């Protein structure tokens, strides 16, 4: 196959056309990379928030299960005490950005505390007011927890959890 050249010049792209094409390519790649990096950062933030929310949900579930089968509730600022189904005195308290659970194995011993919140979240508020405590009615305890995931960007995103739990045992 032979090419017929009438003007004597070969057809090709000029240097200006190549520079314009390369510039457009670099702009499109830069925009695409920026979108990709932003998406990865957003996904990381979403995963940290999901982890914090899951941890708070498990703390509330643990508290709720114990409250349902417990008696003799006492609530004060940042702490909540009761007698569990095994007859042990249990205390939940807010301390150093976390929630601690303490169990008194016998009446003469002190509480043995263990942190029940993950290190990846910071608890900002923990309260457990007793809403209804009348004779012949089960007490209702409101669990209020406010937290945020740890991290510079995530400190400003609050996670608030509130639920009301009714004890199954009636204080007579």
The Cα 120–Cα 52 span in angstroms is 7
Taken as a whole, the chain contains a residue count of 172
The residues that bridge with 94 in the sheet, in sequence order, are 99
Q: Tell whether the model's pLDDT for residue 165 goes beyond 70.
A: yes
Whole-prediction pTM value? 0.74
- Average pLDDT estimate for 135-141: 82
Query: Which two tokens mark 29?
Result: 């790649």
Rounded to whole angstroms, the Cα distance separating 80 from 128 reads 6
pLDDT at 24: 95
Which tens digits make up the pLDDT trace of 12-68?
778 898 999 999 999 999 999 999 999 999 998 888 888 888 999 999 999 999 999
CA 13 → CA 17, 18, 23, distances in Å?
6, 7, 15
Task: State the pLDDT at residue 39.
Answer: 95
- Over range 96-122, report the average pLDDT: 88
User: Which residues is 161 bridged to in the sheet?
Assistant: 145
The answer to whether 127 and 29 have CB atoms below 8 angstroms apart is no
């Amino acid at each position: 196959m032979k090419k017929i050249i009438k003007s004597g010049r070969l057809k090709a792209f000029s240097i200006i056309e190549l520079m314009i094409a390369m510039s457009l390519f670099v702009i499109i790649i830069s925009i695409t990379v920026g979108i990709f990096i932003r998406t990865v950062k957003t996904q990381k933030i979403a995963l940290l928030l999901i982890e914090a929310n899951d941890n708070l949900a498990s703390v509330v579930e643990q508290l709720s299960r114990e409250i349902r089968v417990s008696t003799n509730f006492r609530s004060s600022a940042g702490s909540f005490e009761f007698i569990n189904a095994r007859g042990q005195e249990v205390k939940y308290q807010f301390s150093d950005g976390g929630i601690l659970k303490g169990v008194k194995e016998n009446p003469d011993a002190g509480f043995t505390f263990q942190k029940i919140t993950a290190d990846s979240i910071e608890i900002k508020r923990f309260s457990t007011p007793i809403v209804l405590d009348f004779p012949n009615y089960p007490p209702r305890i409101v669990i209020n927890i406010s937290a945020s995931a740890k991290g510079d960007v995530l400190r400003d995103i609050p996670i608030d959890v509130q639920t009301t739990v009714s004890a199954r045992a009636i204080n007579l």
